[in-house]
Copies of this chain bind each other. A is one copy, B any other.
Amino acid sequence: MTRTLNATAASLLGFLHEGPLTGWDLVATAQQRIGDFWSLTQSQVYRELTAMAEAGLIEAGETGPRARRPYTLTEAGRVAFAEWLEGDVTEELIRSPLLLVVMFGRHVPADRLAEVIATHRHLHEQRLALYEKQLTEPPAGEPDPYAAATLDFGLRYERAVLDWFDALPEVVRGAS
């Protein structure tokens, strides 16, 4: 019995509530639906799937074409997921190399700092555009207020970040 289900594994169980999925499907699904606030890799997914299958939380089905192996949620898996939801919801973790560079800006040549900032501002602009597109073009099927809430978080976050970029004083911004 695993009393120690991590958030990544738990998320996979979450997706499996909607029906059997293969590792490949889960990688794609996770990256689409939670990738913006919970990064994971293909390697991790297969590892967790193997471990969870061994622990009886999921069951591998018949191997299909191209070695597709769909996993099905078991009753134990449902319980483990519910238990995970009851556990501590830890604080979010932000690790921002950009802010690190800004903090040590005193040691960064002005043009380099300007370049780094411009690059990142652009990345956030693009991400905001992507989110705004998702807003106007919601996926087919019944609307999901929970997914909408996480999208709203992303929108507000990206807007706040862009506002921050635009409010940076010229000393920090590096260029004039």
Contact = CB atoms under 8 A, between A and B. Distances in A.
As for how many copies of this chain the complex holds, the number is 2
B100 A38 contact: yes
A159 interface: yes
Interface residues of A, number: 60
A contacts with B: majority SS? helix
B145 A100 contact: no
A57 to B, nearest CB: 15
Contacts of A123: 91
Contacts of A96: 37-38, 92-93
Contacts of A112: 85-86
Interface string A94-130: 1111111111111110001000100110010000000
A56 interface: no
A108 B82 CA distance: 8
A108 B93 CA distance: 22
Contact of A146 (B92, B103, B161, B167): B103
Contact of A104 (B14, B157, B171): B14
Interface stretch (A41-49, A59-67, A147-155): A147-155
B153 A104 contact: no
- Of A96, A150, A164, A168, which is in contact with the most chain B CB atoms at under 10 Å from its CB? A96
A151 to B, nearest CB: 10
